[in-house]
Chain A
Amino acid sequence: MIKYRVRYYLLILFAIVNVPVLAAPVIEIEIRDHLFYPDEIEIPVNTKVKLLIINQDNTAEEFESYELNREKVIPGGSRGVVFIGPLQAGVYPFFGEFYPKTAQGKVIVK
């Protein structure tokens, strides 16, 4: 009985936690050969966006942006989520900290 009750509360907890996740549009970014695909993404002003970063390389990469205030390791052959926004109009560069020579991109907020 208690077990079921715990499950029930967990379900409610997850539902609460997940509400904003469902609301945000998802944009996929792939990492291949230490490059971002696409390396330019456009998002609307004042909108929260969920970036799903898929690392196809077998080496780890760190998605980083000082302008967006974001930093996250994406392990090789794995994926991770980074939420950005709501943002004002402008260009927000991001880069792969582990391979910064090639892994460069930007978020354009319009």
Chain B
Amino acid sequence: MLLNSVIIILREVLEAALIISVLSALSQKLHVSRKWLIIALLSGLIGAITYAINIKVVSMALDGVGQEVINASLHLLIYSFIVLLILSLKDQSNHRLMVFAMVSSVAIAVVREGSEIIVYIDGFISSPELLLPIIIGSAVGAGLGISIGVLFYYLIVNISLNRAVKVGLIILILIAGGMVSQAMQLLIQADFIISQQPLWDSSSLINERSLLGQLLYALIGYESTPAPIQFFCYAISLIITIILTTLTIRSYQQRPEL
């Protein structure tokens, strides 16, 4: 049970931790006050609690696929706000838009991952003999996830502004692509999109259960058996963000170091 909870919580925390660390590193490099992070975390937490409280209602809504629809929407929203962030970074005079995109993407990521953590731990409150190992395991998992986030933060903070924008945006667009791919998977699961045979099976190469598989899942949306539509939308979303990012990075190279 303990090891299991480490993995479950790590997986939930990792995605949000990566987004948070990259965005706080970028705002540090751009001399943006990090007050936005507190607002994002607080509103994300309130959202996560609200979602967790209403999980039964959501689950039974829309003929039993309410969760898929909401979660897919959350993933697509995170993608959209990352796109908005890339656009606002290009034209840095639009400071408000940038902070809005940062707050929104972090808050939504916290709602998505936080609500699952609450639902998971809440189940054990009624069984006291399991609660302690679950809490220890969850703390270890959260610690691991946050540590990886902190690592990425220092990685980005300690390089030049040009490079930081480049590295930060590359990580963000990969995460964003993963969001689109996950949204498609959920819509297939809900039967909103037609299901097809997977494009390939790389589970013998990198298993999704392994630590590497989990990290790649959070970082680039790795799937060992992706559906064609998942891969197609992932590719399209990456092409869009790569073009926008190239334009943004170019605009940074043309201006002197801050």
Query: Closest CB-CB distance, B137 to chain A, in whole Å?
Result: 12
B224's nearest neighbour on chain A, judged by CB, is A66
Partner of A59 from the list B55, B124, B195, B203 (CB cut-off 8 Å) is B124
User: Assuming A60-B120, A75-B119, is B8 touching A98 (CB within 8 A)?
Assistant: yes
Task: Give residues in A with beta carbon < 8 Å to B.
Answer: 17-18, 20-21, 24, 48, 50, 52, 58-62, 66-67, 69-86, 88, 97-98, 100-101
**A residues less than 8 Å from B240 (CB atoms):** none
Query: Nearest-CB distance from A96 to chain B (Å)?
Result: 10
The answer to whether A100 touches B4 (Cβ under 8 A) is yes
Interface size class on chain B is 35 or more
Which of B17-25, B58-66, B168-176 is the contact stretch?
B58-66
A101–B133 Cα gap in the complex (Å)? 15
In contact, B4 and A48 (Cβ under 8 angstroms): no
- State A66–B201 Cα separation when bound (angstroms): 11
CB contact between B119 and one of A48, A50, A58, A73 (< 8 Å): that residue = A73
User: B15: CB under 8 A from chain A?
Assistant: no
The residue from A72, A98, A101 contacting B120, defined by CB atoms under 8 A apart: A98
> Which A residues are CB-close (under 8 A) to B198?
69
New A-B contacts (17) at CB < 8 Å, excluding given A81-B63, A85-B195? A24-B191, A58-B126, A60-B55, A66-B224, A67-B225, A69-B198, A69-B226, A69-B227, A73-B116, A75-B59, A75-B119, A77-B56, A80-B67, A83-B188, A88-B197, A97-B4, A100-B4
Q: Is B123's CB under 8 angstroms from A60's CB? A: yes
- List chain A residues, Cβ under 8 A from B195: 48, 83-86
Interfacial chain B residues near A69, Cβ < 8 Å: 185, 198, 223, 225-227
CB-nearest residue of chain A to B66 = A80
A66 touches B185 (CB 8 A): no
Shortest Cβ distance from residue B203 to the other chain A in the assembled complex, whole angstroms: 7
**Does chain A have a CB within 8 A of B209?**
yes
Judging by beta carbons under 8 Å apart, are A21 and B191 in contact?
yes
In the complex, B68 has a CB within 8 A of chain A? yes
Closest residue of chain A to B1 (Cβ to Cβ) is A101
Residues on A with C-beta less than 8 A from B60 are: 78-80
Contact present for A70 and B189 (CB under 8 Å): yes
CB of B225 within 8 A of CB of A97, answer no
B197 pairs with A83, CB closer than 8 A? no
List the A residue with the shortest CB-CB distance to B227. Answer: A69
B167 contacts the other chain (CB 8 A): no
Quick one: which of B210-238 are within 8 Å of A by CB?
A: 223-227
CB neighbors of A among B72-87 (8 A): none
Pick the residue among B59, B123, B227 that contacts A79 (CB under 8 A).
B59
